[in-house]
Amino acid sequence: GGWPPAGPGRLVLPARRETRRAVKKALLLEVVQRWNFPVQQGACCLFHMGVYDLACVSQSLMQHECDADFLPPCAWQCEGCGLLDADSQSMCPACSWQQAPSMPGIREADEEPRPGEEPRPTGEGNEEEEQQQEGGGPSGIRCSL
């Protein structure tokens, strides 16, 4: 395995919209809150130690060999936040978006934006700019695994 090449890429499911970054963060934090992770002496807070452990686990996963069969579930996508799921749902478990029963949970890339929404084929904003502001990926993390 290895890190992907630098620069923007295509979506794994091009007919779907990108999952919002805020939802990705919330779901990751929900997972970390279920872990009993190590806390180093002198750590600033449990939040940052949990995020550090998450980064270490992610870094470890990057060392695994490639999986050509890896694919997110794609039966349903929330119109509100872009979360993907294997089962069709009436309410999104991440953002509580209510689906109308007659509407599919998929927003095609060529579909018109909702009123007041800017047309964006991928996600909620300029992901590259947001990553630069946040410091990008975990490349500088040193984990004792």
- Determine, yes or no, domain membership for 130: no
Q: Are residues 31 and 63 located together in one domain of the fold?
A: yes
pLDDT of residue 76 exceeding 60: yes
Q: Does residue 139 lie in a domain region?
A: no
Is the pTM of the predicted complex or chain greater than 0.85? no
The structural domain count of the chain equals 2
Q: Are 52 and 76 contained in the same domain? A: no
Answer for the pair 92, 80: CB distance below 8 angstroms, yes or no: yes
pLDDT digits (tens, 9 = 90+) for 20-36: 999 899 999 999 999 99
Report yes or no on 11 lying in a domain.
no
Where residue 101 falls among pLDDT bands split at 50, 70, 90?
very low
Based on the fold, state whether residues 81 and 49 are members of the same structural domain: no
Grouping H, G, I as helix, E, B as strand and the rest as coil, residue 114 is coil
**Angle at alpha carbon of residue 74, lines to 109 and 103, rounded to 5°:** 65
Owning domain of residue 94: 71-105
Q: Are 82 and 55 members of one domain?
A: no
CA neighbor of 122 nearest in space, from 4, 14, 7: 14
**Do 55 and 143 contact (CB within 8 A), yes or no?**
yes
Place of tokens 């993907």: 84
* DSSP 8-state symbol, 90: S
Last residue of a domain, one of 67, 97, 124: 67
What is the arithmetic mean of pLDDT over 111-125?
43
Using alpha carbons, select from 25, 49, 29, 54 the residue that is nearest to residue 38: 49
29 in a domain, yes or no?
yes
Q: Are residues 76 and 99 in the same domain?
A: yes
- Is residue 24 included in any domain, yes or no? yes
The beta-carbon contacts of 49-58 under 8 Å, at least 24 apart in sequence, are 52/141, 54/28, 55/138, 55/141, 55/143, 56/141, 56/143, 56/145, 58/138
Same domain membership, residue 63 and residue 23: yes
List the one residue out of 51, 5, 21 whose CA is nearest residue 120: 21
Q: Is residue 2 part of a domain?
A: no
Task: Please give the Cα distance from 42 to 39 (Å, whole number).
Answer: 9
Are residues 61 and 95 part of one domain? no
Query: Is residue 115 predicted with pLDDT exceeding 50?
Result: no
Residues 79 and 52 in one domain: no
Instruction: Tell me if 120 is assigned to some domain.
Output: no
In a domain, 35, yes or no: yes
